[in-house]
Amino acid sequence: MKQPNTHISRLFCYAFLFLISYGCSNTLNNPLLNNPLSNFNLNTSQTLNINLTPPDDIRILTDINTIAFEWQIVPDSNIVGYQVYRKKPNEQNFQKVATLDSRFVTHYADTKLAPNTDYLYQFASFDANKNVSSYSPTIEAKTQILAPVSYIKAISNYPRIIKILWNPHPDPRVTGYLIEKKNKNGDWKELTKVPNRFLVEYLDRNLEDNATNEYRIYAYNVNQSLSEPSEVATATTKPKPIPVTNLQATNNLPKKISLQWDKHPNPEITHYTLFRSSLLNFSKLQTLDSSITNYTDIIDKDGQSYQYKIIATDKDGIPSIESSPVTGSTLQVPATPLVTYAQIENNAVVLRWNPQDDRATEYIVYKKSSFFSEILRYNKVLTPEFIDREIAPGQKYHYSVSAIDSNGLESKQTQEITLLLSN
């Protein structure tokens, strides 16, 4: 049997081993296969130059909106610059964020970043033909965040105002503050901005009385990036004074209604305001000093009713809760007498009546006839009887009676009674 050519066999083996070795070497060292960036972001217009090396020993310095990098010059004259790539951890692809067009550049600052956020970076070198090196190991960095305002206080019991105070932020990068206020739905809403690090108070104005509000503050820098929120501060505006008590109104005085009430116990009360209404529409009647606790409403009408209420106002102009309304009235006229007897006896008219009101102290009898046109008035009739002998035969006479009380109030007249003395 013919033996194979030993030299040819040896060459075949060497060639096979070389191919295997070359393939394995390229698989392990090919930056396109060994670098995460090559899987996601390699620009097809760029060609890999495996002889270039990226920057290494890259140091980082972080700020609120900036991540800065520093490295040593790569000692390769074929390198003409560097490229910087960035992505967030939850993003798939790196994106090129900068091209540095000199290999002597050794610093780069990535600005306008979000605060308190993680970022990943890679660097690559490139040559005059824009061929790129392999990519540097991934660099992890996180932007900073401003510390929260360390102290906040909201001051209660101011009239329709809450004053908010806080400590000035010690970080000179702070340029101002954002104040938030919780609305009635429980959501935080921006109230205002204070554009000065050393201005550390704010007045929330035009609030309701006895209103409780919650506040918190953020510091911000020149890029409007916010710190963590401060603690929540709560305050309540000054409450309304309690209502005036024991408001009373008379109903037994002629032509007037007398009002009185208890003096308000709050020493800050400066005046009272009285309101009057004949229906439900109250209007201002009078303003009185806080030392006064009564008022007389003069009314030129008998039996007139009004409703009254009163408000006390303190030195800050805060009105009390309204008192419950009370009703007063002027004295009614006496009840009209009831005529029980009207006859002519012995050429005289005799009238008798029953009083219908205990207030009646005297009576008035009115008389008119067909003979004279004027009405005669007989005052101060002290008994419920009247006898008129001044009558003439053949004349008709008309009589009516009213009652008078001690205040001089006169009742309505009775229905007219007509009598005729025959010839």
Domain of 264, in residue numbers: 248-329
Question: In the block, which residue shows the tokens 């081993």?
Answer: 17
For residue range 97-148, list pLDDT tens digits in order.
999 999 999 999 999 999 999 999 999 999 999 999 999 999 999 999 999 9
CATH number at residue 187: 2.60.40.10
How big is the CA angle at 403 (ends 397 and 409), to the nearest 5 degrees? 125
Residue 349 lies in a domain: yes
Residues 178 and 120 in one domain: no
d(CA 274, CA 287): 6
pTM confidence score: 0.68
Structure tokens at 191: 């109230």
Same domain flag for 72 and 43: yes
Indicate whether 1 belongs to any domain: no
Residue type, 95: Q
pLDDT digits (tens, 9 = 90+) for 298-321: 999 999 999 999 999 999 999 999
Give the SS3 label for residue 389: coil
User: Is residue 7 included in any domain, yes or no?
Assistant: no
52 and 137 housed in the same domain: yes
Contact of 214 with 182, CB cutoff 8 Å: yes
Q: Using pLDDT thresholds of 50, 70 and 90, give the confidence band for residue 415.
A: very high
**Residues 6 or more apart whose Cβ sits within 8 Å of residue 4:** none
Residues 275, 307 share a domain: yes
Give the pLDDT of residue 372: 75
Angle among Cα 216, 221, 224 to the nearest 5 degrees reads 75
Name the residue with tokens 């008590």: 245
* Angle (CA) 146 152 157, round 5°: 155
Q: Per residue in 50-66, pLDDT tens?
A: 999 999 999 999 999 99
Q: How far apart are CA 331 and CA 311, in angstroms?
A: 26
Among 275, 296, 329, the domain boundary falls at: 329
Per the structure, the count of domains in the chain is 4
Same domain, 359 and 397: yes
pLDDT(80) > 90: yes
Rounded distance between C-alpha atoms, residue 335 and residue 267, angstroms: 47
Instruction: Give domain status of residue 363, yes or no.
Output: yes
pLDDT (tens digit per residue) in 157-189: 999 999 999 999 999 999 999 999 999 999 999
- Give the C-alpha separation, 72 to 375, whole Å: 129
Q: Are residues 157 and 130 both part of a single domain?
A: no
For residue 70, give the 3-state DSSP assignment.
strand
Residue that terminates a domain, selected from 142, 171, 204: 142
Query: Tens digits of per-residue pLDDT, 262-304?
Result: 999 999 999 999 999 977 789 999 999 999 999 999 999 999 9
| Angle made by CA atoms 250, 251, 254, in degrees to the nearest 5 | 100
* Cα(9)–Cα(349) distance, integer angstroms: 172
User: 270 and 187, same structural domain?
Assistant: no
